[in-house]
Structure 1
Amino acid sequence: MALWCRGKMAWPELLGTRSEEAKSRIVKENPYVDVAVIREGRVVTFDIRCDRVRVWVNRDGVVTRIPFVG
């Protein structure tokens, strides 16, 4: 996680919530990021970006990892 990123950096309180709720809360609390909802098991890049939050969900659309900027 980069120290120079703006806005809120992590959302542990969203663990176990639905993806739609998580996405809307993240955008509301940090307007500097884009939110990508990713299903568990997908392959993603390992680059760190201040303008991205990945929301990992299971097949039921429930958040399975703490969303954070990066």
Structure 2
Amino acid sequence: MNIQQPQGKQQWPECVGKTAEKLMQLLPYNSMVTMDYRMDRVRVLHDGNGVVQQIPHVG
């Protein structure tokens, strides 16, 4: 299966340290998620205080 990489920005390191409520699809850090790859999805993993814990990326 040949998956094409999306065009444009794929990571948002500037989000780290900001509150998750100001960002995209929000998930608590270490949440169970599906492993399917989707070019139209960005997951933002945050801690209990709503602070982003890792660089959001496409997938």
Question: Which structure has the bigger radius of gyration?
Answer: 2
TM-score calculated relative to the size of structure 1: 0.70
Residue 49 of structure 1 aligns with which residue? 38
3-state SS of paired residue (1:41): coil
Residue 54 of structure 2 aligns with which residue? 65
Q: Which runs of 4+ in 1 moved over 4 A?
A: none
- Equivalences for 1:1-70 in 2 at 5 Å? 3-21=4-22, 23=23, 35-70=24-59
Q: Which runs of 5+ in 2 are unaligned?
A: none
What letter is aligned with 1:63? V
What letter is aligned with 1:54? R
TM-score calculated relative to the size of structure 2: 0.81
CA drift at 1:6: 3.0
Q: Which runs of 5+ in 1 are unaligned?
A: 24-34
3-state SS of paired residue (1:5): coil
Measured on the aligned residues, the alpha-carbon RMSD in Å equals: 1.6
